[in-house]
Amino acid sequence: MCGAKPSPINVKRIFVLPVLMVLTITGCSNYPRTLNFPFDNGGRGLNSRNSELNPYIAGNFITFTSDRNGSQDIYLFDARNRRLIDLPNLNAFDEIATNPTISEDGRYLVFMVVKQGQSGLYLYDRTTQQKRVLIPQNNKEIRNPMISSNGEKIVFETANNGQWDIVVTDIRGNPINN
């Protein structure tokens, strides 16, 4: 028995198991990966000299807020083509825009606007280039809006008598109760 050779099954187990483990571990080495977008002095890239806040990614689109034009505005970056996308009729100098999110297809943006100390929830349609109020500015505080990937539902938090609640609406601002 001292000079007995190991069976082929034991040899396979000794060599195959470590190889499979190494392949499994290295197969996951690309996730997560860091995307590097260079600094752009001209303000037409993702990163600028100013603060870029509230980033949100959906598909190839990254939306965020920045004060690069003198007021806090919403920007949309196409990660595939590495360029900013114009958003006509969206930003206004008398408003502070924040917390933008975008549908997966890039058509709808949902975001908060603070104007004269009151917050409201807005929807911007890139196809029609129109911004409209979903939840008017009132004394209730609204925060953390999100749009579903298909652009059909919107969820956000609202304070009612000091109690934070979650509200779900359609893109017209009508509450969804089911």
pLDDT tens across 141-160, in order?
Answer: 888 999 999 999 999 998 88
Q: How many CB atoms lie within 10 A of CB 9?
A: 8
- Selection from 111, 140, 108 nearest residue 125 by Cα: 108
Q: Is residue 94 part of a domain?
A: yes
- The CATH number linked to 145 is 2.120.10.30
- Report which residue type is found at 149: S
Q: Is residue 4 part of a domain?
A: no
pLDDT tens across 74-122, in order?
Answer: 999 999 999 999 999 999 988 999 999 999 999 999 999 988 888 899 9
Q: Is residue 34 part of a domain?
A: no
Number of domains making up the chain: 1
Cis? peptide before 100, omega within 30° of 0: no
The model's pTM is 0.75
pLDDT tens across 42-79, in order?
Answer: 667 777 777 888 999 999 999 999 988 888 899 999 99
Q: Is residue 126 part of a domain?
A: yes
Q: In the β-sheet with 96-102, what is the strand arrangement from edge to edge?
A: 96-102, 108-115, 118-125, 130-138
pLDDT value, residue 71: 84
